[in-house]
């Protein structure tokens, strides 16, 4: 997507020797800076410390992490240690395991001399396919926004949570792809952006990328969505997901469940957008089986921002000494979800709905 009129992806090979560049998302929205990944440790750190985040981008970065690993050591031990370093980085987004398992299964049967070239080719393919899938999600979701506009609204108001835009993928985004497509098609669309405490992926990242693309939007505190829905000011909700169970249960950024409850109570359609690799076919009970990441309580008790003098700094916002719990994700049961917007079309959030779109995967038990 565009930043100051220039097209960017979130990750790309750089320098000609196999290094990889990413956008450091911890610095946004205050600074747009890239970081060069030179080793598997760099890639693992970028995922764990959330320089890159969002399920599809975590998968793409892990794939390039395997490239950097085999570039340094293409032996069986090198392959294993790269896999082990990367799989530990974040627990919830299943795209991580999907990408790593796919790379390992591709590379393990090859001779060490063949591995690096095959790894880079596959990582590039994963990125290109992610762009294609997200664009297709946009095309399918566009139909929903167009239908809401065709009902006679002046503007279609979409509420989203966290950042499931292009910064969370390689390009386009999942939840925001339909918004970009609608905006580009001339449909007046406005986005209510949940700030998404504690890390503020909404106010920092979603608002930034919507602004760069010229999409009208308004940042709201996380607890405002229910009020807006009660007053008819939200036409549909679209969020992303880090892991979707084969049953259609969806795990996404903490607070997504509360938005789905409010949408259900107010008759507001609640859609979740996802590419196929975000479905975990091994899990049928989202609530009981998806690991929920718990992060440092300091993310709750402290906040980072820019002062009036321009300095970016961290300040404490909590009573000194009070403990904080930091659950990063929650699970929204399929019954609260109007539909799943995938690259293959829109499915009912159910085992049957997903099986209908992915007949070759249903019942496979493999991610
Ligand atoms: O903790 P994050 O920022 O990685 O969480 C990201 C989300 O919750 C996104 O909604 C999800 O990964 C979908 S990304 C297209």
pLDDT tens digits for 256-315? 999 999 999 999 999 999 999 999 999 999 999 999 999 999 999 999 999 999 999 999
pLDDT < 50 regions, the chain: 367
Q: Is residue 47 within 6 Å of ligand 1 at its C-beta?
A: no
- pLDDT per residue as tens digits for the range 166-181: 999 999 999 999 999 9
Domain boundary among 78, 102, 129: 129
- pLDDT per residue as tens digits for the range 68-99: 999 999 999 999 999 999 999 999 999 999 99
Helix, strand, coil in percent for the chain, rounding step 5: 45, 20, 40
Query: Considering the domain boundaries, does residue 362 fall inside one?
Result: no
**Same domain (yes/no): 166, 73:** no
Tell me whether strands 19-23 and 34-37 are parallel, antiparallel or unpaired. Answer: antiparallel
Q: Which of 242, 249, 280, 330 is catalytic?
A: 242
Q: Which pLDDT does position 2 carry in this prediction?
A: 87
Q: Is the dihedral of CA 103, 292, 168, 21 positive or negative?
A: negative
**Same domain (yes/no): 319, 190:** yes
- Provide the residue range defining the domain that includes 329: 137-357
Closest alpha carbon to 59 in 32, 26, 28, 90? 90
Q: Is 296 a catalytic residue?
A: no
Alpha carbon nearest to ligand 1 atom 6, residue: 54
Q: Is residue 55 within 6 Å of ligand 1 at its C-beta?
A: yes
150: three-class secondary structure by DSSP: helix
Indicate whether this model's pTM tops 0.75. yes
**Same domain (yes/no): 102, 16:** yes
Query: Alpha carbon of 308 to those of 305, 312, 313: distances in Å?
Result: 10, 9, 11
**Same domain (yes/no): 104, 150:** no
Q: Is residue 242 within 6 Å of ligand 1 at its C-beta?
A: yes
Q: Which pLDDT does position 367 carry in this prediction?
A: 44
């Amino acid at each position: 997507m565009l930043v100051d009129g220039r097209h960017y992806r979130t990750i790309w090979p750089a320098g000609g020797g196999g290094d990889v560049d990413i956008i450091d998302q911890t610095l946004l929205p205050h600074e747009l800076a890239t970081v060069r990944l030179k080793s598997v440790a760099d890639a693992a750190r970028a995922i764990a410390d959330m320089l890159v985040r969002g399920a599809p981008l975590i998968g793409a970065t892990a794939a390039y992490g395997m490239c950097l690993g085999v570039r340094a050591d293409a032996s069986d031990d090198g392959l294993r240690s790269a896999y082990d370093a990367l799989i530990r980085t974040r627990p919830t987004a299943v795209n991580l395991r999907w990408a790593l398992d796919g790379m390992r299964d591709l590379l393990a049967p090859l001779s060490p001399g063949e591995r690096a070239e095959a790894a880079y080719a596959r990582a590039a393919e994963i990125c290109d396919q992610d762009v294609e899938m997200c664009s297709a999600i946009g095309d399918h979701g566009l139909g929903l926004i167009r239908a809401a506009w065709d009902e006679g609204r002046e503007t279609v108001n979409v509420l989203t949570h966290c950042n499931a835009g292009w910064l969370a993928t390689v390009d386009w985004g999942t939840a925001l792809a339909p918004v970009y497509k609608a905006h580009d098609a001339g449909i007046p669309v406005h986005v209510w952006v949940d700030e998404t405490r504690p890390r503020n992926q909404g106010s920092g990242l979603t608002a930034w990328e919507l602004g760069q693309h010229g999409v009208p939007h308004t940042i709201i505190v996380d607890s405002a969505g229910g009020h807006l829905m009660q007053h008819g000011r939200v036409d549909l909700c679209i969020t992303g997901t880090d892991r979707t169970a084969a049953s259609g249960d969806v795990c996404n950024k903490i607070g997504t469940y509360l938005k789905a409850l409010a949408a259900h109570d107010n008759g507001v359609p609640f859609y979740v957008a996802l590419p196929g690799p975000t479905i975990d076919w091994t899990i049928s009970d989202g609530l009981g089986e998806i690991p929920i990441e718990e992060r440092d309580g300091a993310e709750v008790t402290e906040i980072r921002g820019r002062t009036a003098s321009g300095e970016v700094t961290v300040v404490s916002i909590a009573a000194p000494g009070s403990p904080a719990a930091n659950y990063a994700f929650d699970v929204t049961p399929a019954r609260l979800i109007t539909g799943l917007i995938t690259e293959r079309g829109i499915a009912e959030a159910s085992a049957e709905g997903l099986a209908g779109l992915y007949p070759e995967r249903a019942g496979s038990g493999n991610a």
